[in-house]
Structure 1
Amino acid sequence: MARTGLPRQECAVTVLGGPTAVIDLAGLRIVSVPTFDEPGPRGYLTKTTGPAFDEQTVGPVDLVLVSHDLHPDNLDQRGRVFATSASLLLTGPLAAGRLGAPAVGLAPWTTRTVPRGDGDGHLTVLAVPAVHGPEDGERDADGNVNCEVTGWILSGEGLPTLYVSGDNASVRTVAEVSRRVPDISAALLHAGAARVPSKFDGRPLSMDSRRAAAAAAVLGAGIVVPAHYDGWTHFSEGRAELELAFHEAGLSSLLHAPAHGSWVDLRP
């Protein structure tokens, strides 16, 4: 992998593989869900491919977003080191307690403002809910399906409003997000229909391709970038299934799924 550095963009996202994405926005470099380990078994999960760029190539970051910390496909060993070395790490309250400093836990529908790198005020980060499995899945003592998972809305003056879903399988939750934040212009959706036979009768733990297309329709976003659909054996649907689902829904023009490491402009 090249180590010449990843040039900063004005307003764009690139998926590195698995769920990991680099978001350049408001003069900030943001990494969502860092996973940088090499391929191989990780307990009951198996990673098949590494990221398009390693952490040295990604370079210094201003903000890391951790959807959840309990599953190695969403925070692996090198990703954990990367995240906890950042100046600011945002995650859910339970994950923040486990990760320690510099993690800051945000409950759903609470915000954190971050000074913009372009000197034009602040970027607002809104934590939003996610359901990591079927709607009728058994809830834990904290009310979560599978575990606590956090999604995000990034917004600011003159910026596209970006929704980062995290490992959410619930279109109902997407509808709630859309109702509360009606001006979402771009979405980074975790898809892949992740399945683990021992959990919820093997039903998807993340959006399948049809749900991703439905979520795009509900959000009304002009740009949809999928992540979390390859690189692990428990992801049961890939790019081909996503492209077919968006085609059948008449939404192909919204879907942007280039080769990993390629930038997608977030401005419609």
Structure 2
Amino acid sequence: MAHVPRVTHVGGPTTLVEVDGWRLLTDPTFDPPGARYRFGWGISSVKLAGPAVAAADLPPIDAVLLTHDHHGDNLDAAGRALLAEVPTVLTTVAGARRLGSATGLAPWSEVVLEADGKPPLRVTATPCRHGPPLSRPVVGEVTGFALHATTGVTWITGDTVLYPALREVATRLTIDTTVLHLGAVQFPLTGPLRYTMTGADAVELLSLVRPRAVVPVHYEGWAHFHEGRAAVEKALASAPADVRDLFHWLTPGEPTEV
């Protein structure tokens, strides 16, 4: 059993996180590239890159951690088909109602996963706001997840901007590894408004949270991601070294201990 989390970046927000013998898949997106996905209110985007690992090539999955079900860049058709094969799906309260076969978690609520041969895994839902103030009725509910393993806490931030409730994570949890959703999402229809964190936001958040390691995701593979790796690294260039050195840029499809 690994003494640190092992993370495989599949693409976009999709990762396979392995802790304490548990295999947890985040935001399953396995459709091929090229299609346009509509997110509502006249907003859409094109998928530019396919997954680095096919759904059929995944090992058995113990649970899906679904930050939200209603955007195609976090749950697509192939991802929905996969949900039926997984014993446990954790998501938002609204998402659980829509899916009908998932457990919904409100911010700061918890559930304990149990299975033969594995230590219990406590999961805490963490707050997200997927856009500017007052945008929740439009963009819908999103959640993050903190996994309390024997080797430390792994935090999947989910699609969120930097706002006070997210900063609260630093005061309520001691984070070991952060799977950080970036991308500075923007759409032509809504101009300069952003729907996920920028590199500068990441620097501020990580200066508060102080994890041991950071795995950036949700920054490539879609047309609505406006900050890729180069832009994030530009923001990191002026950050303190103890923040800059946290980042582990994974090779998609390659399991990596972090």
Task: Tell whether 2:239 aligns with 1:249.
Answer: yes
Q: Which residue of 2 aligns with 1:105?
A: 104
Contact 2:130 2:136 (C-alpha < 8 Å) held by counterparts: no
For the residues of structure 2 that align with 1:154 and 1:197, how far apart are their CA atoms?
36
2:166 to 168, 174, 177: 174
Q: In the TM superposition, what are the counterparts of 1:1-268 in structure 2 within 5 Å? A: 11-40=5-34, 41-43=36-38, 44-101=44-101, 103-115=102-114, 118-120=117-119, 122-134=120-132, 136-140=133-137, 146-156=139-149, 158-181=150-173, 183-199=174-190, 201-250=191-240, 251-266=243-258
Deviating above 6 A after TM superposition, structure 1's stretches of 4 or more consecutive aligned residues are none
For the residues of structure 2 that align with 1:222 and 1:21, how far apart are their CA atoms?
19
For the residues of structure 2 that align with 1:139 and 1:24, how far apart are their CA atoms?
31
What RMSD over aligned residues (CA atoms) do the two structures have, in Å? 1.7
Distance 1:214 1:171, change over 3 A: farther
| SS of equivalent residue, structure 1 residue 167 | coil
| SS of equivalent residue, structure 2 residue 189 | coil
For the residues of structure 1 that align with 2:249 and 2:115, how far apart are their CA atoms?
27
For the residues of structure 2 that align with 1:169 and 1:216, how far apart are their CA atoms?
13
- How far has the Cα of 1:9 moved from its partner? 6.1
For the residues of structure 2 that align with 1:22 and 1:180, how far apart are their CA atoms?
25
- Letter matched to residue 146 of structure 2: I
Contact 1:133 1:170 (C-alpha < 8 Å) held by counterparts: no
- How far has the Cα of 1:174 moved from its partner? 2.5
Distance 1:17 1:138, change over 3 A: closer
1:188-227 deviation line (CA, Å, top 9, x unaligned): 010010112224x441101011111221111110101011
- Gaps spanning 5+ residues in structure 1: where? 1-7
- Letter matched to residue 114 of structure 2: P
The percentage of counterpart residues that share the same residue type is: 36
TM-score, normalised to structure 1, is: 0.88
For the residues of structure 2 that align with 1:131 and 1:119, how far apart are their CA atoms?
33
TM-score, normalised to structure 2, is: 0.91
Distance 1:112 1:48, change over 3 A: same
What is the aligned length? 249
- How far has the Cα of 1:168 moved from its partner? 0.7
For the residues of structure 1 that align with 2:181 and 2:13, how far apart are their CA atoms?
7
For the residues of structure 2 that align with 1:139 and 1:70, how far apart are their CA atoms?
13
- How far has the Cα of 1:139 moved from its partner? 4.1
